[in-house]
Structure 1
Amino acid sequence: MKIGALVLAAGQSKRFGGDKRQATLPNGKLVIQQTLEKVTSVFDEVLVVLRAEDAGLHKKLLNLFPDLKYHHAPDSGLGMGHSLASGIRQIEGWDGVFVFLADMPFVETETLIKLRDSSASVGMRNSPSSRPVDSPPSSRPVDSPPSSRPSEASGETSWIIIPTHQSKPGHPVGFSFEFFDELRQLTGDQGAKSIISSHKLKTVTMAVGDDGVLLDVDTPDSLNQKALDF
């Protein structure tokens, strides 16, 4: 399976009071630099979605990450949904995507590896060819016991994967290829919440001990909220 990462870096940073993507973390790295270093250490295919006017940042990132793909979302000012949809339209040949937020540099690398690898196991578990005849497909939480496994209405291999910490949903969120058409139609500032709400039976949660899946950089004080693993 070819699972890629889409990094949304087209937000307006209104609460931060400046460009938080280029704010400096305690380890001396930029917020977006730290995020991309973690993403690229786990995912081979990475697409970064920038604002239309981000020529300067694009040039800086090309020097740091020359092999990545970049896309300038023309309607990024209208909300995250527009940026996400614009980015998904650029993807070809991926079996699934994990959607990252550029202002979340505190997710641990081990968590990203688990999420990436879980997409393959979830797809196989839900596949009709990978289970005994007459057995139901699975939408259970990853690593939960069989007794907690609800059955789905169909045997499709589509999946949505959400990491949770202390029962709170976080990022990145993964989507199989079957949801790309819906993702391409998103608008507004709610991201993919509507898609997740409409496909609860396809949604798998993965509990992690990593609070980095919940922590974003919204204010200058939040730059110091967690030690970085590299």
Structure 2
Amino acid sequence: MKTVALLLAAGAARRMGRLKQLLPWQGRPMLQHALDHLLDSRVDSVVLVLGCEGERVLQNLSLPAGDRVRVVHNPDWRTGMASSLVCGLQAAPDAEAVLVALGDLPAIPPGVVDLLIEEAAQGGYTVVAPVYEGRRGHPVLFGRTHFDQLRALEGDSGGAGILRAHPGQVRLVPVDSSGILHDVDRPGDLFRLAGREDLPLVMLRGGGDLASGVAHRLFVSGFPVLILELPQPRMVRRTVSFAEAVYRGQVRIEGVSARRVEEPLACPGEIPVLVDPEAETLEELEPGVLVDARMLKANRGTCRGQAPVVVGLGPGFQAGQDVDFVVETQRGHDLGRVLLEGMARPDTGIPGILGGEGTRRVVRAPQAGLFRSEREIGELVRQGDRLGRVGSLPVLSSLDGLLRGLLHDGLEVRSGEKIADVDPRGDQVDVHTLSDKSRAVGGGVLEAVMRGLFGHKAFADGVGRSVLE
């Protein structure tokens, strides 16, 4: 049975707001993935139907030599999907069956297509479609019996009406790939493809060391994560901050890679870091979870309803009012606790004690001006050693220890701004691994997210109340 795949990719992607056929996915245009998967299957040939900006799309695709792929242009693409289907059928006059595939489903493995072809070859059914966990998806194989009905379709009809009209001729084939369900209509859909389908996108405002502990915990737990940052992030513990990707392009922390992106697109296997200080992509991406991890000591515009689950780290947020959950960030017995009501402990302005030192381990700018670094994170320093300068004034270490954190070179600083962190515990400290504090806070955020998405609403008295009560 000669089977021709009709790969429909003519639309303007109005909901996406950009030409989604060429959206990058795993290093290649999304449409290229859909095409390659068909070519790796048992279909005899592929008719690729283009329309909106067809020449541009074609120039960015890699087609095999020979005649296995035929490219046709649908001049009536604005009228809807049905016109592309008809256009594809006209280009496959000798087909005994057509496999109707969509260009915005890039994650359908070739094995699914082969299974549909095998089922159709056994006879008895004229329509074969895949199902995953009881949900029907794409592509759908139609026998020649239905070609006239396909040619009669109009508007955005894609053949679903034929399945409803002839249920006795439809064979539904269970498959083990959820890719048959996931078309990409909005930028956030690419993040869904990057993670588990039952776990939504987590948008994280801030990529400093605490935020990175959160991002790491969520990412290794299966959540797709996107970090939003400033054009010039001002974290000190740069070796354990995914925000460093803004400067370096890519960083890796404990086996998890983060990469700077210029558009809000997913990076499969990595955490994308986007410069978006005002969270302008929030409405576009529609994340399932929003975490404000900027550690600003006050709420600067985060509120319930911006996502189904909204979490705030540390002081400045009111659980149950402006956010759904607050996670305690102050060291002590309650570090990482999830609050369902009330606020975290207020900022004391006093650094936590490490190795017997608190205030002295934090080095601050002696004046406002341009900071120039003279040391590297991880170096052992002694009290009085120069770490850099602000303008003409030196920045000196206030004690002996390991340089645990240092502001990025070349930033303008305010007088008194934190510039460095010297750990008196010395070379016992690993500056390339997440701190116990960031791990505890990350665990608290993971708990809050799971409670918000899947947990029970009723808790025992006192659980989740403000630590100030």
Cα distance in 1 for partners of 2:64, 2:23 equals 18
Aligned residues: 192
CA shift digits 1:133-172 (9 cap, x unpaired) = xxxxxxxxxxxxxxxxxxxxxxxxx601111111111000
Cα shift at 1:225: 2.4
> Does 2:59 match 1:92?
no
Instruction: State the match for 2:58 in structure 1.
Output: 58
Aligned match for 2:139, one of 146, 159, 172:
172
Instruction: State the match for 2:172 in structure 1.
Output: 205
> Does 2:184 match 1:185?
no
Could you tell me the TM-score, scaled by structure 2's length? Answer: 0.39
Whichever residue aligns with residue 86 of structure 1, its letter is C
Alignment check: 8 A CA contact 1:85 1:187 kept = no
> Does 2:21 match 1:21?
yes
Alignment check: 8 A CA contact 2:77 2:83 kept = yes
Whichever residue aligns with residue 138 of structure 2, its letter is H
Cα distance in 2 for partners of 1:65, 1:226 equals 26
Deviation above 2 Å: which 4+ runs of structure 1? Answer: 58-61, 63-67, 224-228
Cα shift at 1:52: 5.9
**Percentage of pairs with the same residue:** 32
Structure 2: tracts of 5 or more residues without a match: 195-267, 269-469
Say which SS state the counterpart of residue 206 (structure 1) adopts: strand
Cα distance in 1 for partners of 2:130, 2:159 equals 15
Instruction: State the match for 1:149 in structure 2.
Output: none
Alignment check: 8 A CA contact 2:49 2:72 kept = yes
Cα distance in 2 for partners of 1:196, 1:75 equals 25
Instruction: State the match for 1:2 in structure 2.
Output: 2
CA shift digits 1:94-123 (9 cap, x unpaired) = 1101100000011122212211221101x2
Alignment check: 8 A CA contact 2:48 2:70 kept = yes
Cα shift at 1:53: 4.4
Instruction: State the match for 1:160 in structure 2.
Output: 127
CA shift digits 1:68-102 (9 cap, x unpaired) = 10111121111111211221122121110110000
More strand per residue: 1 or 2? 2
Alignment check: 8 A CA contact 1:96 1:174 kept = yes
Structure 1: tracts of 5 or more residues without a match: 127-157
CA separation of 1:52 and 1:223: change in aligned 2, threshold 3 A = closer
Say which SS state the counterpart of residue 88 (structure 2) adopts: helix
Alignment check: 8 A CA contact 2:22 2:60 kept = no
Cα distance in 2 for partners of 1:98, 1:31 equals 19
When Rg is computed on C-alpha atoms for both structures, the one with the higher figure is: 2
Cα distance in 2 for partners of 1:53, 1:182 equals 29
Say which SS state the counterpart of residue 24 (structure 2) adopts: coil
Cα shift at 1:226: 3.0
Could you tell me the TM-score, scaled by structure 1's length? Answer: 0.78
Say which SS state the counterpart of residue 57 (structure 1) adopts: helix
Say which SS state the counterpart of residue 28 (structure 2) adopts: coil
CA shift digits 1:200-230 (9 cap, x unpaired) = 11111011121110011111222232358xx
Whichever residue aligns with residue 112 of structure 2, its letter is T
Higher relative contact order (CA 8 A, sep 6+): 1
Alignment check: 8 A CA contact 1:6 1:87 kept = yes
Whichever residue aligns with residue 110 of structure 2, its letter is T
Q: Note the 1:72-111 alignment, pairs <5 A.
A: 72-111=73-112
Cα distance in 2 for partners of 1:226, 1:18 equals 18
More helix per residue: 1 or 2? 1
Say which SS state the counterpart of residue 112 (structure 2) adopts: helix
Cα distance in 2 for partners of 1:5, 1:166 equals 25
